[in-house]
Amino acid sequence: MAAKYQAPRGTFDVLPAAARGRARIEAAAAAIFARAGYEPLATPVFEDTELFERGVGKSTDIVRKEMFTFEDKGGRSLTLRPEGTAPICRAYVEHGMHKLAQPVKLSYAGPFFRHERPQAGRYRQFHQLGAECIGTDSPLADAEVIMLLSDLLGELGVPGVELRLGSLGSLEARRAYLEDLKAHLHAHEGELSRDVRERIDINPLRAFDSDDEGTRGVMASAPTIVGSLQGEDAEHFAAVRELLDAAGIVYTVDPTLVRGLDYYTRTIFSFVCDQLGAQSEVGGGGRYDGLVEQLGGPATPAIGWAAGIERILLALGEEEDAKAQRRVFISHATGAGKISRAKALALATELRHAGIAAEFDLAGRSPKGQLKHADRIGASWVVFLEDSGEGQLRDMASGEQRAVDLGNLVEEITGGEL
């Protein structure tokens, strides 16, 4: 029977089996953020619509087409957050964080919402992890935030990751460059796709993203922003590159790299993964030196990134299962008496305290039923408690079974390595 109600298009339930992989990613990120002093900040899932119009930019696809906007009972226009940087900057200004020692280093994780056409790796509710370093224009901050994401993807074992790096220059340089680019596009209007042609004056940078053959031809000879960098912008980009080189971070400079949000200045970067199809970016970000001021705060340079948890999971693919946590099932069927029951609880608690996942029968199953259940929950081992007080340990993968010292169960299971 087909279910009457289904999760809305582009959304999904995170079922218990899938939750483990997500929790591992969030825990790895939380540990990396904590070690580097990026403290968690949680903002609401909805904000005033104007925050995103001003922050992300009215000409972006996100604001033009993808926001879930609604009116509340008081007639206010609210929007489910499509991204986290504008809200973080709103909070920075609202709580006077510019008075704290700078930079303020923040991190976040949670659901975000964009009304996009759903496909693998692209959802209407998705989850991001992010870091923002607000209050410094030092190239060291650029290198640090890039390293945080590089470390996270490395630690999680995301395969086939490549880092692309670009720079958009300061706001003024970017403005001047955009005029040059528009002039180039206008000069070749006839060769451009309609979509690009209609947006020459609104968002000319998106032309670099086009799949249209005519447009690609025009863009091959277009001026690039990296090629136009001058003075302090050029020095800043060179300094970021030097620091990344010294840190052994491999990247390619992509002079045509653009990102879909208006607030970027200077450094931008994107981590792409060859295991993902069209939606190949696992995470990305850049500098947004004008955003805090734009939102009513003091002039405050900043940089950060966000990564998509679903994209990371997709990139990890099958490997995720192989790394699933080892689990022990304790069977107390042979000694149905109270002693065996209490022993099962005590052993499970001891294993859990040692960081090992452990469960026991809670449903009064027969010995055979318990073994079946152990298999069902993906247990790597089953411990059989015997009436005599002895125990047997079964390796579920090989089917081998041997006597085990119950007083030393943690060691027996981990072989001494935890």
Residue numbers at the binding site for ligand HAM (CB under 6 A): 83-85, 114, 116, 121-123, 126, 128, 130, 132, 259-261, 281-286, 288, 304-308, 310-311
Residues 6+ apart with CB under 8 A from 111: 45, 125, 126, 127
Q: Is 169 or 335 the residue whose CB approaches ligand HAM more closely? A: 169
> How far, in Å, are 74, 138, 191, 199 from residue 212 at the CA level?
45, 38, 10, 14
CB of 10: closest distance to ligand HAM in angstroms?
A: 8
Tokens read off for 65: 């087409």
CB of 155: closest distance to ligand HAM in angstroms?
A: 17
CB of 132: closest distance to ligand HAM in angstroms?
A: 5
Position 184, amino acid: H
CB of 282: closest distance to ligand HAM in angstroms?
A: 5
CB of 244: closest distance to ligand HAM in angstroms?
A: 17
Nearest residue (beta carbon) to ligand HAM: 308
Q: Is 121 or 204 the residue whose CB approaches ligand HAM more closely? A: 121
Residues 6+ apart with CB under 8 A from 186: 200
Q: Is 158 or 347 the residue whose CB approaches ligand HAM more closely? A: 158
Q: Is 81 or 327 the residue whose CB approaches ligand HAM more closely? A: 81
> How far, in Å, are 173, 186, 366, 380 from residue 291 at the CA level?
16, 29, 64, 51
CB of 117: closest distance to ligand HAM in angstroms?
A: 9
Residues 6+ apart with CB under 8 A from 118: 9, 10, 124
Q: Is 88 or 371 the residue whose CB approaches ligand HAM more closely? A: 88
Cβ of 45: how many Cβ atoms within 10 Å? 14
Q: Is 11 or 392 the residue whose CB approaches ligand HAM more closely? A: 11
> Which helix (DSSP H) or strand (DSSP E) does residue 342 occupy?
helix 338-353
Q: In what order do the strands lie in the sheet with 125-134?
A: 39-40, 104-113, 125-134, 302-308, 281-287, 265-273, 161-167, 252-253
Contact 292, 134 (CB under 8 A): yes
CB of 90: closest distance to ligand HAM in angstroms?
A: 13
Q: Is 169 or 284 the residue whose CB approaches ligand HAM more closely? A: 284
> How far, in Å, are 6, 130, 132, 149 from residue 36 at the CA level?
41, 13, 12, 12
CB of 123: closest distance to ligand HAM in angstroms?
A: 4
Q: Is 118 or 298 the residue whose CB approaches ligand HAM more closely? A: 118
